[in-house]
Structure 1
Amino acid sequence: MFFSDSLSPDLILSQLPGCDCVGVCVDPRRCACLSRSGEVNYHGESAVLRQSTMAPPHRPVYECNSCCSCNPDCCPNRLVQHHMEDVGAIRRVEAGCKGLGACAARPIGCGEFVCVYRGVYISPDEASGICASQAEAVGHVYVLVVREYAGEAGEMVFETVVDGAGDGLDALPLSSLINHSCDPNLTVIPVRVDSLLPVLALFARRGIWEGEEVCYDYGEGRGSGLSGKRCLCGSVMCRGFLPRHE
Structure 2
Amino acid sequence: MDASVRPAMDLSGGLEDVPVLFEGLTLPTFQYSPDNVQGLGCTVDPSEVTLPGCSCLSHSCSSESCSCLQTHGHSYSRTGTLLELSRTDFGCCSPVFECNALCACSDTCSNRVVQRGLRLKLEVFHTRNRGWGVRTLEEIPRGTFVCEYAGEVISFGEARRRQLGQKSEENNYIIAVREHAGTASITETFVDPAQVGNVGRFLNHSCLPNLFMLPVRVHSVIPRLALFAGRDIDAQEELTFDYSGGHTSQNPAELLSTQSDAAVQASRTDGLQRKACHCGAKKCTQFLPLDLSILN
Fold match, TM over 0.5?
yes
Match of 2:192 in 1: 163
**Counterpart Cα distance in 2 of 1:55 and 1:207:** 19
The superposition leaves residues 148-194 of structure 1 with CA deviations (integer Å, 9 ceiling, x where unpaired) of 1111x3x4421111111133xxxx63210101111111111111111
Aligned residues: 234
**Counterpart Cα distance in 2 of 1:138 and 1:28:** 51
| Aligned residue identity for 1:51 | E
Picking from 236, 240, 245, the partner of 2:286 is 240
Shift of 1:42: 1.4
Picking from 103, 121, 130, the partner of 2:153 is 121
| Aligned residue identity for 1:232 | H
Match of 1:141 in 2: 172
Shift of 1:98: 0.8
Picking from 187, 190, 203, the partner of 1:178 is 203
| Aligned residue identity for 1:136 | K
The superposition leaves residues 184-235 of structure 1 with CA deviations (integer Å, 9 ceiling, x where unpaired) of 1111111111110011111011111111111111112444689632111111
The answer to whether structure 1 residue 62 and structure 2 residue 108 are counterparts is no
Match of 1:48 in 2: 81
* CA 187–55 in structure 1, closer or farther in 2 if over 3 Å, else same: farther
Pick the structure with greater CA Rg: 2
**Counterpart Cα distance in 2 of 1:128 and 1:63:** 31
- On the 8 A contact 1:64/1:77 being kept in 2, the answer is yes
* CA 235–33 in structure 1, closer or farther in 2 if over 3 Å, else same: same
For structure 1, list consecutive stretches of 5 or more residues without a partner in the other structure.
none
**Counterpart Cα distance in 1 of 2:202 and 2:281:** 19
Secondary structure at the aligned position of 1:120 is classed as strand
- On the 8 A contact 2:37/2:45 being kept in 1, the answer is no
For structure 2, list consecutive stretches of 5 or more residues without a partner in the other structure.
1-35, 246-251, 255-264
Shift of 1:242: 1.1
Pairing of 1:1-12 with structure 2 (within 5 A): 1-9=36-44
Match of 2:233 in 1: 208
**Counterpart Cα distance in 2 of 1:78 and 1:49:** 12
| Aligned residue identity for 1:28 | S
* CA 234–222 in structure 1, closer or farther in 2 if over 3 Å, else same: same
* CA 105–239 in structure 1, closer or farther in 2 if over 3 Å, else same: same
Secondary structure at the aligned position of 1:229 is classed as coil
Pairing of 1:96-115 with structure 2 (within 5 A): 96-115=128-147
- On the 8 A contact 1:146/1:222 being kept in 2, the answer is no
Match of 2:258 in 1: none
Match of 2:120 in 1: 88
- On the 8 A contact 2:211/2:241 being kept in 1, the answer is yes
